[in-house]
């Protein structure tokens, strides 16, 4: 699955990476499209401490999703 981030960088989320994510964050199971939409339609993008970016989007009043990502290399 691929989307363009808010700043136009292609972002890919492989099945393998998604399985790793939901292993640690089971509350996200079934929300893969919403995670990718948060990257593509974020309200705010923040810089992380290790070169990653954090896409922030309000899902419903007072409920926020923060998707952590990096741009595709090469």
Instruction: Locate 36 and state its tokens.
Output: 């990718």
Determine the pLDDT at residue 61: 95
Q: What is the pTM of this model?
A: 0.84
The overall longest dimension of the chain from CA atoms, in Å, is 38
Say if 52 falls within a structural domain: yes
**Is residue 29 situated within a structural domain?**
yes
Domain with 22, as residue range(s), is 2-69
Residue 6 lies in a domain: yes
Residue range 5-56, pLDDT digits in tens: 988 889 999 999 999 999 999 999 999 999 999 999 999 999 999 989 999 9
The answer to whether residue 19 sits within a structural domain is: yes
Domain count, the chain: 1
Question: What is the SS3 assignment for 65?
Answer: strand
On whether residue 74 sits in a domain, the answer given is no
Does residue 74 have a pLDDT over 60?
Answer: no
């Amino acid at each position: 699955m691929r989307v363009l981030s808010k700043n136009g960088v292609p972002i890919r989320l492989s099945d393998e990476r998604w399985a790793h994510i939901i292993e640690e964050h089971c509350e996200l199971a079934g929300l893969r499209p919403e995670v990718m939409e948060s990257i593509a339609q974020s309200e705010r993008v923040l810089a992380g401490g290790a070169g990653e970016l954090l896409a922030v989007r309000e899902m419903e009043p007072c409920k926020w999703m923060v998707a952590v990502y990096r741009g595709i290399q090469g």
